[in-house]
Structure 1
Amino acid sequence: MELKLELIVLPVSDVDRAKAFYEKAGFRLDLDVNANEDWRAVHLTPPGSECSIIFGTGLTTATPGSTQGLYLIVSDIEEARAELTGRGIDVSEVFHDANGVLYHGHDAGDVTHELPGQERLAGPHPDRATYCSYATFRDPDGNGWVLQEITERFPGR
């Protein structure tokens, strides 16, 4: 049996503002449907991804900005960061964990929340080890994204 993650619902407070942000970030607009004033769905897909996001009116009761830890996998972290910042997206500096631990904290404004066992250091991993270099950004509501550099997949992926 295959189970493919296809769609993630994001809670946003302003649909048009979120749509403009994700289009600016390079996401492809797949659908923008208004059934009535109480229901609207905007569906976008990150470049190269098989999984999409959807947000709108009447889609979720989750608090806007409450979704954290959405990973976008890139083959070159510095190139991806440069492209996003070139598009006007505020992306953190590239970083890695001193202990080689998978990054599982999140950014909230100027404060980075790290979990036990982590020590965030500036720059990509010194050996550019796969799965070990990161950068983060947030949408206008605070939904949190992590760019992760993967150059070689773990076996079985």
Structure 2
Amino acid sequence: MPTDASGLGDFDQRIEVLVIPVSDVDRSRDFYVRLGWRLDVTPPWVVQLTPPGSATSVQFGPALTPAAPGSSTAYLVVADIVAAREALVAAGVPVTDYFHRTPEGFTPGLDPHRATYSTRATFPDPDNNTWILQEITTRLPGRE
């Protein structure tokens, strides 16, 4: 018997994989491996990589999605955005400067209090899919 407002009941639902559109599978694989993402074992027509510490992976490959290369945007969550940005830049990734959310909108620079969920930076993959790097140090209740 359903126990929630959706009528579906109470069962786990997890995002396992995000499919991202790329134009050159080998170039994209090499880029994500350079970021330290684990290359997972998959069927030959799929490339799957998993960021360190993540339960969610990304996949790409020929004909996996009709979306145009460069049309994807996703969050990459880190505990220390300064260390993460420095490591990405050292790996040759063009990461934007920091910016943070205020009541008026986004403002340049690190959040002065380094409040969780506040500071961000972005970087593109080789096809210009956008990754939003976000610092999360304490999860909202229910988000363990």
5+ residue gaps, structure 1, are 35-39, 100-116
Matches within 5 A, 1:2-41: 2-31=12-41, 33-34=43-44, 40-41=45-46
Residue 51 of structure 2: aligned partner? 46
TM-score, scaled relative to structure 1: 0.80
Residue 136 of structure 1: aligned partner? 122
Matches within 5 A, 1:26-105: 26-31=36-41, 33-34=43-44, 40-68=45-73, 70-99=74-103
TM-score, scaled relative to structure 2: 0.87
Q: Does the CA contact (< 8 Å) of 1:44 and 1:53 recur in 2?
A: yes
Q: Which has the higher strand share?
A: 1
Q: Does the CA contact (< 8 Å) of 1:12 and 1:64 recur in 2?
A: yes
SS at match of 1:71: strand
The one-letter code matched in structure 2 to 1:148 is: Q
Higher gyration radius (CA) = 2
RMSD: 1.2
Shift of 1:97: 2.3
Shift of 1:32: 5.4
Residue 112 of structure 1: aligned partner? none
Q: Distance in 2 between matches of 1:155 and 1:123?
A: 27
